[in-house]
Amino acid sequence: MGKQRIAAAAFREQPLIQAIEADPALEERFAFDPALHFDENLETYVTRHVAAVLPTPALLTLDGRWVEAGGLDYKRMVNAYLDGLPGDTMVVRVLHHSRRGAVVRRPGLLGGAGR
């Protein structure tokens, strides 16, 4: 049995992990399986996590290009792009969620209560 399988088995033997795996609602909430990464060396682990800190699913560049992608190459590209910007560049991160056809009205959010 390889080191990764031994580590994964030891991980899954923990009572908390067994409880999560036994409850479908908890298993869905905690779907990430760290045992998959037990064989990573330190350099690979650090590179993967550093690259993931800033990138979002889409990037609008200063010259108006909209870039959407995923994966480690995309994250490296976003980080290289941000690192190459002039020091006085203001970077804005926008979190946006939308549902087609859905109109959300919240009284008081824009223009006072009840309007």
**Exposed e or buried b per residue across 39-54, where buried means at least 16 C-beta atoms within 10 angstroms of its C-beta:** eeeeeeeeeeeebeee
**Which pLDDT score, from 0 to 100, does residue 61 have?**
92
What integer is the mean pLDDT of 41-54? 78
Which amino acid is residue 114, in one-letter code? G
Long-range own/partner contacts, residues 73-76 (CB < 8 A, 24 or more apart) = 75/51, 76/51
pLDDT tens-place string over residues 15-40: 988 888 788 777 667 666 666 666 67
| pTM score, whole prediction | 0.47
pLDDT tens-place string over residues 50-98: 777 777 788 889 999 998 877 778 888 888 998 999 999 998 887 766 5
